[in-house]
Chain A
């Protein structure tokens, strides 16, 4: 458990640093707000619509689902990789079968055009 102390240290700095900046800035800065200054803007132009006024393509969600699937796939690779030298050929064939099934799915996804945006 001692080996996690540096990580804890980093986590504490990462959590406190933004808070410290906000507090210090709040104390130091000049305060002269007006409605125009406080309005949200993008590139100096007032935003014409709300983000939710638009409809988003379902492609975003499709890409996200495929991302999660391949994310889970990589998770299985880690415990296999660290024990590769003990599992030997058995492990290699096992993983080859696993990846073969997923590559089949990948080819299907590719052929159906789910990875292209147009």
Chain B
């Protein structure tokens, strides 16, 4: 097996094991740690796809920031270890059935698309996505390519993103302060 394919399967296995761990762990904190493993595995897959910036963002925002939110939520909502609860609920059988159905549908679409594409277009070259041509100059790097497109072609969505962040900030303060004033 060529090394690229080997590592793809390795990182995919890490992601899947992490995701399964999130669901089956009894303690919320263990679920959170498995989620972290899954996030890091996804970051590795991004690196393999030559999307270095997205990989860095995955670690910085998801494994860093979003993980902190999850841990604080676990701390705040007072979840104790559930020993008495039945491991598999009554929904287990229908859940497995619907899950399998969903897998069939998604898998069918993916296989169908892959077959349709196989004859026609060549697979996109990841290296080509990491180059930017500005006039006669070629700039290398995925981060540079993202920067060039984001700050020229997607100017308006970028500025709107700042408004979203503003809304998130003000919303958090309004909700948080109200709760604090009630309880303090």
Contacts and interface: CB of A to CB of B under 8 A. Distances in A.
A61 B73 contact: yes
B76 A79 contact: no
Contacts of A4: 47
A82 B166 contact: no
B148 A83 contact: yes
Contact of B173 (A56, A62, A71): A62
A82 B144 contact: yes
Given A64-B69, A94-B159, A80 B147 contact: yes
A112 interface: yes
Interface bin, chain B:
35 or more
Nearest to B172: A65
Contact of B61 (A75, A80, A98): A75
B84 interface: no
Contacts of A49: none
Closest 6 CB pairs of A and B: A79-B147, A83-B147, A62-B176, A68-B65, A65-B172, A105-B169
A89 to B, nearest CB: 12
A75 B134 CA distance: 23
A68 B176 contact: no
Contact of A102 (B47, B134, B166): B166
A38 B155 CA distance: 60
Contacts of B30: none
- Interface band, chain A: 35 or more
Interface string B67-88: 0110011011011100000000
Contact of A91 (B80, B151, B166): B151
Contacts of B61: 68, 71-72, 75
12 contacts: A52-B79, A61-B69, A61-B76, A62-B177, A64-B68, A68-B66, A69-B165, A82-B141, A86-B134, A101-B159, A102-B166, A106-B169
Nearest to A95: B151
A79 B143 contact: yes
Nearest to B180: A58
B78 A52 contact: yes
B177 A114 contact: yes
B60 interface: yes
Nearest to B179: A58
Contact of B166 (A52, A68, A76, A105): A105
A72 to B, nearest CB: 6
A59 B66 CA distance: 17
Contacts of A41: none
A10 interface: no
B64 to A, nearest CB: 6
Given A58-B183, A68-B66, A98 B173 contact: no
A7 to B, nearest CB: 9
Contacts of B150: 76, 79-80
